[in-house]
Amino acid sequence: MTAQSTQTAQTEATAPQHGAEVIVPLNRLKASPRNARKTPHSPATIEAFAASIKAKGVLQPPVVEVERDGEGVPTGNYFVTIGEGRRQGLRLLAKRKAIKRTHPVRCIVDAENDAHEISLDENMTREAMHPADQFEAFQRLATEKGYGPEEIGARFGVSAHVVRQRLRLGAAAPELMAAYRAGALALDQLMAFCVSADQDRQRQVFEQLGEYRPVHAIRRAMTESKVAVSDRRARFVGVEAYEAAGGGILRDLFTEDGGGWLEDVVLLDRLVGEKLTGLADEAREREGWKWAEAGLEYPDLSAFGRVYPVAVERSEADAAEIAALSEEYDGIVSEAGDDGLSPEADARLEEIDKALQAFGPDFAYAPEARARAGVMVMLGHDGLARFERGLVRAEDVPADPPSPWSEDEAADDGVDGATPSSVDAPEDETPSALSDRLLIDLTAHKTMGLRDAVQADVNVALATVVHALVLQVFYSGYSVWTPLQLRLTTTGLERLAQGVDDSPAGRRVRDRCEAWGARLPERPEDLWGVVAALAPSDQLDLMACCAGVGLYAVRDPHDRRPGALAQAETLATAVGLDMAGTWTATAASYFTRVAKPKVLEAVTEAAGAQEAARIAGFKKADMAEAAERLIEGKGWLPAPLRTVSDAAEPEERGAETPRDDDAYSFAAE
């Protein structure tokens, strides 16, 4: 026998045999090139293996194949045929210095089977544990072993949040868990039931919904008596303040944002009221208003008169300093390059800001205005407090505005029924001594002359119209202070549609009025001088502000004005009105208020017939919620809010023109 054959025989005799259990240093274990799994394990899986091994050791020894060199001699290394994930977990522990690189690993040698085939077999011939079993197993570890979410997560390589989710699912009512195992409930449905840990409520909702159990309907039913953390009241008070007051929160463990619901609605409303009242009292004391009120809902402000802030009078020295500081500020900003401001320039801007703020605001309410007006603090739809200042109650508005005429003229103008003693009064008599008939005759001629003169002076004509409109919009009760027979009615809309005053369009209208109110004089007798001195462009802007406030295009079945409504559509087309920027169809604003066919019609138009067919069998409340989600961001509008296109054919425009019967049908919906 040759030396080579003797060495081979000895090697075969000393190599581990099939089925042998061997202890192999970790650094001697290698990935098998014949492993059927070519897609690498995910980092999360390797993390889970590492956590399990650290807590419990290697529960299943890897199956290995002896590595041999080109001459068939064992190299001392082993290919891991089955258990590559465990090898990766061990390597991760070694990398973290939790074990040594030479950590001994118990392995089983397979020298007979094809390595590729047994690797494939090991990955195919198995069935994963049902998730329900995993949920209940986690729950058992928590109850029997006393492990917390962090400890369980560390032992299985998952986050504590995932453990909390599985513990909540493992604590579901037995009836729900049985339905989940049987396939009657999907995982997302089970999670919706487990938003609350109340098993009695879970059973109740499970029975009430019957066979039809959409996820959103389950979640809504489980939380119907609670307030979502996204609610404006919760955002206003703050979850921390609510919890500090003893309020409980039901956390949603199954959403990415970790939302939840506030369970004590009475406490929440009390906290909202207290905070609003505190803000109102603070504003009254700090700013000197006659009264202050707080309210959760936005009021109908048309019931109040208004006073506006006036320009603060500055001394010449202060005005010059403010102008100089403002000019310096603008100069620094304009000189900033692409790299922005230098630290020195930025510091100087802060100094200028502080100096300008020390002068106070340019506009402020006069003391006499604050003495008869008040402030209301409301909760806006965005969860922020909104202050409405300068509101004048009806009892604080003068019952009879002062007459623009002198006391003698007011006493002798014939209103009190007195009749002149003679129609042939001397020419040098005052107008009040003339007969009524003669006075009417003369002033009729003067009126005609005034008409002629105003028609010939377009600037005065514009100022006259603007003056008349402003008196009616900004000076309640002073509409008689103009000879122009132009009557503008301003109708509050909040009583017709709650929240409309606080809508995007409502806030823009209010902001424009407040900006102009700050530029107008407080005394109506001073108004003409201000309006007449405005540039024509400013007069037009002011006229537009007043005209907009006076528009009324509400389709009320009891107020039949087809001509006015048709003209409103013409105006909407002329200004390119797009209501998608100020109104959105939601379950509350539209879908719960119309019949099912209308809901499906909207979904068909916005999302397609297929989506409409999918929700056609839903109950009304569920259909409304589903429709809201389906059309979100699509800019869909119901017909009454659409603007007729300029390109529409006359017949099409006629079809869109509001009619009396349209008003009735819309109201019925």
Of the segments 123-127, 235-239, 480-484, 644-648, which one has the largest average pLDDT value? 235-239
Class of domain 15-124: alpha beta
Give the per-residue pLDDT at 285. Answer: 92
3-state secondary structure of 406: coil
Segments in 389-535 forming alpha helices (H): 407-411, 436-456, 458-474, 504-519, 527-533
- On the question of pLDDT at 93 being above 80, the answer is yes
Q: Which candidate, 205, 229, 136, 143, places its Cα nearest to that of 174? A: 136
- The order of strands in the sheet holding 249-251 is 227-228, 260-262, 249-251
d(CA 43, CA 85): 10
pLDDT by residue (tens digit) across 309-348?
877 788 888 888 888 988 888 888 887 766 777 888 888 8
Phi, psi of 178 (to 5 degrees): -65, -40
Cβ count within 10 A of residue 305: 20
* pLDDT band at residue 667 under the 50/70/90 scheme: very low
pLDDT band, residue 258 (cuts 50/70/90): low
Helix 160-170 to helix 131-140 angle, to the nearest 10 degrees? 100
Which residues, including other chains, have CB under 8 Å from residue 425's CB and lie 6 or more apart?
Answer: 433, 434, 435, 438
Which three-class secondary structure state does DSSP give residue 106? strand
What's the rounded mean pLDDT across residues 79-86? Answer: 92
Under a CB-based contact definition with an 8 Å cutoff, are residues 500 and 506 in contact? yes
Mean pLDDT of 598-627: 90
Mapped onto helix, strand or coil, the DSSP state of residue 393 is coil
Q: Are 604 and 634 in contact (CB under 8 A)?
A: no
| Alpha-carbon span 82 to 121, nearest angstrom | 10
pLDDT of 658 higher than 50: no
Q: Is the dihedral of CA 432, 436, 437, 441 positive or negative?
A: positive
For residue 200, what pLDDT is reported? 85
Q: Residue 450: pLDDT above 90?
A: no
pLDDT classification of 7: cutoffs 50, 70, 90: very low
The neighbour count for residue 377, using CB atoms within 10 Å, is 23
Alpha-carbon distances, residue 359 vs 167, 244, 286, 319, 362 (angstroms): 61, 40, 18, 10, 8
* Residue 422: predicted pLDDT: 40
Q: What are the residue boundaries of the structural domains of the chain, listed by start?
A: 15-124, 284-352+368-396, 407-550, 562-668
Name the phi and psi angles at 360, rounded to 5: 85, 175
pLDDT-based confidence at residue 588 (cuts at 50, 70, 90): confident
Does the structure show a pLDDT above 60 at 463? yes
387-419: pLDDT as tens digits: 988 888 888 876 655 555 444 444 444 444 444
Lowest mean per-residue pLDDT among 83-87, 409-413, 587-591: 409-413
Query: What was the pLDDT predicted at 536?
Result: 92
Query: How far is 633 from 573, CA to CA, in rounded Å?
Result: 23
Average pLDDT across the chain, whole number: 81
Label residue 217 by pLDDT band (50, 70, 90): confident
Q: CA 133, CA 139: separation in Å to the nearest integer?
A: 10
Within 10 angstroms of residue 385's Cβ, the number of other Cβ atoms is 16
Identify the H or E element spanning 178: helix 174-181
pLDDT value of residue 299? 66
Inter-residue contact 572 to 543 (CB < 8 Å): no
What pLDDT band is residue 9 in, cutting at 50, 70 and 90? Answer: very low
Tokens describing residue 576: 């390119």
89-98, 325-334, 414-423, 615-624: least confident range: 414-423
Q: How confident is the model at residue 109 (pLDDT cuts 50, 70, 90)?
A: very high
Q: Which two tokens stand for residue 227?
A: 């307030």
Task: Tell the residue number behind the tokens 């290995």, with chain if given.
Answer: 64
**Over 90: is that where the pLDDT of 374 sits?**
yes
Q: In the prediction, which pLDDT does 23 show?
A: 93
Give residue 534's pLDDT.
93
The dihedral region occupied by 15, where left means phi > 0, alpha psi between -120 and 50, and beta the remainder, is beta
Give the pairing of strands 29-31 and 74-82.
parallel
Position 474 confidence tier, pLDDT thresholds 50, 70, 90: confident
Lowest mean pLDDT of 141-145, 246-250, 438-442, name the range: 438-442
**Within a 10 A sphere around the Cβ of 353, how many other Cβ atoms?**
12
**Which is more confidently placed, 507 or 87?**
87
Q: Which residue has the tokens 């209308």?
A: 598
What is the helix, strand, coil percentage profile of the chain, to 5? Answer: 55, 10, 35
For residue 430, the model assigns a pLDDT of 53
Give the per-residue pLDDT at 274.
92
Residue 137 has a pLDDT of 83
DSSP label at residue 641 = G
Pairing of strands 291-295, 374-379: parallel
Provide the sign of the torsion angle of the four alpha carbons 519, 522, 526, 527, taken in this order.
Answer: positive
CA distance 424 to 3: 159
Tell me the average pLDDT across 205-226. 78
Q: What is the pLDDT of residues 13-68, one digit of tens each?
A: 467 888 889 999 999 999 999 888 888 888 988 998 999 899 888 988 999 999 98
Amino acid 419: pLDDT: 40
Answer yes or no: is pLDDT of 257 > 90.
Answer: no
**pLDDT tens, 49-63?**
999 899 888 988 999
